[in-house]
Amino acid sequence: IYIPAGTVHSITKGSFVLEIQEALDVTYRIYDWDREVKRELHLKEAKENIITKFTCDDFICKTRDIYSSNNCELILIKQTPYFTIEKWNIKDALEAESKGDTFSILCVLYGNIKIICQSGEYFFNTGDTILIPAKLGKYKIAGNSSIIHVYL
């Protein structure tokens, strides 16, 4: 689900969320779910910034295959002017290359992986998040896994 800025939203207790957002840390709280320790509400600011012109289609991620082979499947989840989100399903290994002009982020949804690059081998597990430097160059991801790949 894509939640554009200015959309009123919440999550329920026990939810697992991978939040991808722009480098802006502004949250206007309009309700605090009767927490024991109360937090400040921002009703005036929220009212000034809530956007209501969205339709259901604005929230749906219409996925499409980018690439598919015996070893991997690359799926475009969402492309915005600010970031792109892909899902990489890897069955054995995937050869990749950094973007060169911007970093990217990998989040391991499940599986154990090994990233092999010029500087060495690095191991990661389910739930780990990895920053891929813009200038890393070619690297290999080995292992059976599902990964979210995000870049600017």
Question: Taking a C-beta distance cutoff of 8 angstroms, is the pair 138, 94 a contact?
Answer: no
pLDDT at residue number 91:
95
What is the rounded average pLDDT of the residues 92-109? 95
pTM: 0.85
- The model's pLDDT over 45-86, given as tens digits with 9 standing for 90+, comes to 999 999 989 988 889 888 988 888 888 999 999 998 889 999
Left (φ > 0), alpha (ψ -120 to 50) or beta: where does 143 sit? Answer: left
Task: Kindly list the catalytic residues.
Answer: 29
